[in-house]
Structure 1
Amino acid sequence: MPAHDPPVSDDRAGTGGPAPVPPVRQPLSDSVYEDIKAMIMDHEIAPGARVGIEALSRRLDVSPTPVREALARLESDGLVVKRSLSGYRATELLTRQGVEELFEMRLLLEPRAAALAALHADESQLDAIEAIQEDMEAHPGPAGPYASYRDFAALDQRFHDAVAAAADRHLLLDAVERLHAHLHIFRLSSLPAEDDPTLAEHERVVRAILRRSPERAAEAMADHLTRSLERQLSRFEEK
């Protein structure tokens, strides 16, 4: 019988299985963006303070280029502002009036978005909204430094953006995204994780959208935002 070549093994590492896949590295610009963002969220860079490009590049041991790119992104997030002759500064924290005005806008926009999502969301959009809600349940709620609740905060923003996207109204989605509400609210100070009702309130919104009930979806979103506003204002009273 003719000789056969021995089978080719996938065991490149000598462990009996396929070679391990190397971890995906985060691009430098994204890493620098997240580092500076955390400094602002945790007030390591104080509200209103100057944000020096050279100082940050030395601190992060990177060239000024990714720092400039990060600051441009943070400006679009509303976390820094660029002023002529004085460079970048961290934006001031929202005042009580600022919080009220932010939620006034959200209450005008997001209940309507939820109602339209109940009418227009396709199956992939419904799946995405459900998946974000499930991911939020698996992540810790806000408490402690920004790094500990970053994923929760990002998912919270994604949830509201996904509902707005499912409304099938591009200007409405753009308005909701441009508020950057979650960054400004979480930056005031993180809320205690215990008994935080955010997930339960989101669940009511999800159920109403899945049931194709625009009235209930709008009501659930308005209730969530109203209760969230009450929680934010109570912190000003505590101070």
Structure 2
Amino acid sequence: MPAPEPPVRATGAGTSERSTRPARQALSDSVYEDVKAMVMDHEIAPGARVGIEALSRALGVSPTPVREALARLESDGLVVKRSLSGYRATELLTRQGLEELFEMRLLLEPRAAALAACHADEGELDAVEATLESMQAHPGPGGPYSSYRDFAALDQCFHDAVAEAAHRPLLADAVERLHSHLHIFRLSGVQDAGDPTLDEHERVVRAILRRHPERAAEAMAAHLTRSLERQLTRFEEE
């Protein structure tokens, strides 16, 4: 007796379910970027409550992708969830918070750059160099978040790639978990900060490619020190 044919209905249902997954993911990503931009541009003010139903109505979507977006933003450190009061946008970094953040970065990232100069394989060197080249094609800080979103993401990728190339998983994880870039850009991107950032990144890359760990550490430390100085001007102007 020949084997029975598989049920057509089950096959069709599986195909339909698979075909809807990319659409659901695209919607989730779109809502995440929309809410993220609202937080970064202070359309949702620092410390303000983030209402799921209100965002759902404003964006014309169901509450589900909004909840998913807020969970991702909580992981980014841009919102916090409190019992009984829901989500709130995180407060901006204070001067002391900014200095403490850079203190941590100066402990971690120069060491990561030195280790990357020693241990990075060819693929990792290519990744660091390619990220720098991609940054050169995007505008730097200044204006609304949408105008420098790609630059900010690539800036984060650059520092993460250097840390990954150090071949020290705990160190790379610590650098990534700082989530420093979104908080710094959220302070309100300093005008014309893009050009010095790229020049400073290029010096780090050059030292890593030439396998000079001490120069790589020095270049990273100099970059972070100057970046802090640029950000502190915001507090001085106030």
TM over 0.5: yes
Which residue is equivalent to 1:13?
none
Q: Does 1:60 align with 2:56?
A: no
| Alignment partners' CA distance in 2, 1:64 and 1:140 | 33
The runs of 5 or more residues in structure 1 that have no matched partner are 1-23
Q: Does 1:225 align with 2:224?
A: yes
- The equivalences for 1:91-130 within 5 A come to 91-130=90-129
Aligned CA RMSD, in angstroms, stands at 1.2
Which residue is equivalent to 2:39?
40
Q: Secondary structure at the match of 2:157?
A: helix
Q: Secondary structure at the match of 2:42?
A: coil
Question: What is the letter of the counterpart of residue 158 of structure 2?
Answer: F
Which residue is equivalent to 2:69?
70
State the shift of 1:143 in Å: 1.2
State the shift of 1:194 in Å: 6.8
| Alignment partners' CA distance in 1, 2:83 and 2:37 | 25
Per-residue CA shift, 1:51-107, capped at 9, x if unaligned?
000000111111111110110000010000000000000000000000000000000
Per-residue CA shift, 1:93-124, capped at 9, x if unaligned?
00000000000000000000000000110000
| Alignment partners' CA distance in 2, 1:142 and 1:98 | 21
Contact 1:141 1:152 (8 Å CA) reproduced: yes
Which segment drifts farther, 227-236 or 87-96?
227-236
Q: Secondary structure at the match of 1:82?
A: strand
Relative to structure 1, the CA distance from residue 194 to residue 95 in structure 2 (aligned partners, 3 Å threshold; closer, same or farther) is closer
Aligned residue pair count: 216
Contact 2:113 2:163 (8 Å CA) reproduced: yes
Which residue is equivalent to 1:192?
191
Question: What is the letter of the counterpart of residue 112 of structure 2?
Answer: A
| Alignment partners' CA distance in 2, 1:142 and 1:210 | 27
Q: Secondary structure at the match of 1:138?
A: coil
Contact 1:140 1:193 (8 Å CA) reproduced: no
Question: What is the letter of the counterpart of residue 206 of structure 1?
Answer: V
Contact 1:41 1:187 (8 Å CA) reproduced: yes
Question: What is the letter of the counterpart of residue 204 of structure 2?
Answer: V
The runs of 5 or more residues in structure 2 that have no matched partner are 1-21
| Alignment partners' CA distance in 1, 2:112 and 2:193 | 29
Contact 1:110 1:222 (8 Å CA) reproduced: yes
Q: Does 1:140 align with 2:139?
A: yes
State the shift of 1:177 in Å: 0.6
| Alignment partners' CA distance in 2, 1:143 and 1:232 | 13
Question: What is the letter of the counterpart of residue 39 of structure 1?
Answer: M
- The equivalences for 1:140-219 within 5 A come to 140-193=139-192, 196-219=195-218
Runs of 4+ in 1 over 6 A off after TM superposition: none
Relative to structure 1, the CA distance from residue 194 to residue 168 in structure 2 (aligned partners, 3 Å threshold; closer, same or farther) is closer
State the shift of 1:193 in Å: 2.7
- Pick the structure with more helix per residue: 2
Relative to structure 1, the CA distance from residue 194 to residue 108 in structure 2 (aligned partners, 3 Å threshold; closer, same or farther) is closer
Structure 2-normalised TM-score? Answer: 0.89
Contact 2:141 2:193 (8 Å CA) reproduced: no
